[in-house]
Amino acid sequence: MTHDLIARDAAAFFHQESSSPCPFALKSAQGVWLEDIEGRRFIDLHGNTAHHLGYGHPRLIAALKEQLHTLPFSPRRFTNETAVRLAEKLLDHWPGAPAKVLFATGGSDAIEIALKLARVATARHETISFEGSYHGHGFGAFGLSSAEPDARLGPFLPGRHHVPGYWQSEDGPMITLTEMSRIFDESRTGIAAVIAEPIRSNCHLPPEGFWPAVRRLCDVHGAKLIFDEIPSGLGKTGRFFAFEHVGVVPDAVVLGKALGGGVAPIAAVIADARLDVAADLDLGHYTHEKNPLTTRAALTTIEIIEEDGLAARAARLGDHVIAEIAKLATKYPVIKGARGKGLLLAIDFAPEACGMEPGPRFTDRLVETFWQEGLSATEKGQTGMGFSPPLTITDSEITEALARIERVAGLLA
């Protein structure tokens, strides 16, 4: 049965590196659990970082059913109560100067809105981003990820500058700042924006003082600082915005993925209101920009995060998981420890402990062993696996996930 559906999938869809072929066929998703059509159940430690509330949260589903029966769609020339309430709710969380918002249907589109805002506000077009990062797949957003994307795709936006990530070596932060400063000084037309994740989705934490130093560079050179919190925002790290951990407020932040509660596709840009200088341009203008169904999903998601204290819960559970993984590391040499913030975590493994080298062969083995033990997760770098469950995961489910990771360690040893 699984084989047949996977074969039909492979025949119907264009193939691409990260999603073809599919390894399993899904039947249901509820809370932290996935069940495939063969009846195998998995604790989802990945969820594309979209399942902050888990799958099928009953309050969210009820709100969407109600919305479908009242106002299911709103053409662009009309506003509606739900979209405005979502905008106001997001602005209530913004800790900086007065701000405004725009919505899009996905994170990649929202990144490009933020780039447009920075371009028109600075009258520049050049950008600085981290080599090996990921900001989406639009020609603007994807070009931020690598200085040399696949040549078959043709040219990307001009003026892209890439610096080594601060996580790449012990001297990485200083190398990053030095290279960034050089680019600022040597740019002929000026830098419009620096764009990066404040805390990487790969769970590498920036050293203290790093982002304040970047903020100073941006301010000195008149550039805007854009934070991509598509995977890390909305309480995942233990605070509503991930940037609240790093000591600076950006000029713009982009949210996505979990904003729709794991049900609806929606993303948002929140930016300093002083960037509102292009009323004569269409910066987003998407068909579903103020869709009452997707905005109701986002509004309800944020209300649940607030009222259930899920950001604080993520902080508490994250500390617990890191401590428990540290205990496992004393028993199993193949486990090195965990890193990250809140429930945006990665577990580092030691490939040499099982006679392997860092790289795809090792991470493939990790993924397969996790699957074997009923854990859905994804690799983080050459030696790590993500631990990013919903903020609603129960204490007993955390205990069960850790027990399964211990079994993984026993199999790898």
Same domain, 253 and 197: yes
Rounded Cα distance, 204 and 345, in Å:
9
pLDDT digits (tens, 9 = 90+) for 45-82: 999 999 999 999 999 999 999 999 999 999 988 999 99
Same domain, 172 and 244: yes
Rounded Cα distance, 281 and 332, in Å:
58
Same domain, 211 and 355: no
Please report which confidence band the pLDDT of residue 275 belongs to, taking 50, 70 and 90 as the band edges: very high
- Annotated catalytic, 286? no
User: Among residues 281, 307, 333, which one ends one of the domains?
Assistant: 307
**Alpha-carbon separation of residue 307 from 26, 261, 300, 311, 312 (angstroms):** 31, 15, 10, 10, 11
Write out the H or E segment, with its range, that includes residue 405: helix 395-412
- Domain of 239, in residue numbers: 71-307
SS3 (DSSP) at 1: coil
Could you count the other beta carbons within 10 Å of the beta carbon of residue 312? 14
Rounded Cα distance, 403 and 405, in Å:
5
Share of the chain above pLDDT 90, in %: 87
Task: List the catalytic residue out of 55, 134, 166, 332.
Answer: 134
Same domain, 42 and 83: no
Q: Is residue 66 part of a domain?
A: no
Q: Is residue 162 part of a domain?
A: yes
Could you count the other beta carbons within 10 Å of the beta carbon of residue 16? 8
SS3 (DSSP) at 337: strand
Q: Which CATH number is 342's domain given? A: 3.90.1150.10
Q: Which two tokens stand for residue 240?
A: 């509503």
What is the predicted pLDDT for the residue at 322? 98
User: Among residues 254, 289, 307, which one ends one of the domains?
Assistant: 307
pLDDT digits (tens, 9 = 90+) for 84-141: 999 999 999 999 899 999 999 999 999 999 999 999 999 999 999 999 899 988 888 8
Rounded Cα distance, 175 and 155, in Å:
28
Please choose, from the candidates 55, 48, 29, 41, the residue with its C-alpha nearest in 3D space to the C-alpha of residue 236.
Answer: 48
pLDDT digits (tens, 9 = 90+) for 316-330: 999 999 999 999 999
SS3 (DSSP) at 35: strand
pLDDT digits (tens, 9 = 90+) for 20-51: 778 889 999 999 999 999 999 999 999 999 99
Q: Is residue 337 part of a domain?
A: yes
For the chain, how many helices (H) and strands (E)? 11, 15
Q: Which two tokens stand for residue 190?
A: 């000026």
Same domain, 167 and 290: yes
Same domain, 259 and 396: no
Same domain, 316 and 296: no
Q: Which CATH number is 121's domain given? A: 3.40.640.10
How high is the mean pLDDT of the chain?
Answer: 95
Amino acid, res. 40 = R
pLDDT digits (tens, 9 = 90+) for 205-246: 999 999 999 999 999 999 999 999 999 999 999 999 999 999
Lowest-pLDDT range, 23-27, 127-131, 145-149, 159-163? 145-149
Amino acid, res. 158 = P
User: Among residues 307, 328, 359, which one ends one of the domains?
Assistant: 307
**Alpha-carbon separation of residue 253 from 152, 197, 210, 343 (angstroms):** 31, 9, 18, 20
What is the predicted pLDDT for the residue at 242? 98
Domain tally, the chain: 2
pLDDT digits (tens, 9 = 90+) for 371-388: 999 999 999 999 999 999
Same domain, 292 and 395: no
Helix axes 81-93, 292-307, angle to 10 degrees: 40
Same domain, 223 and 368: no
Q: Is residue 81 part of a domain?
A: yes
SS3 (DSSP) at 287: coil
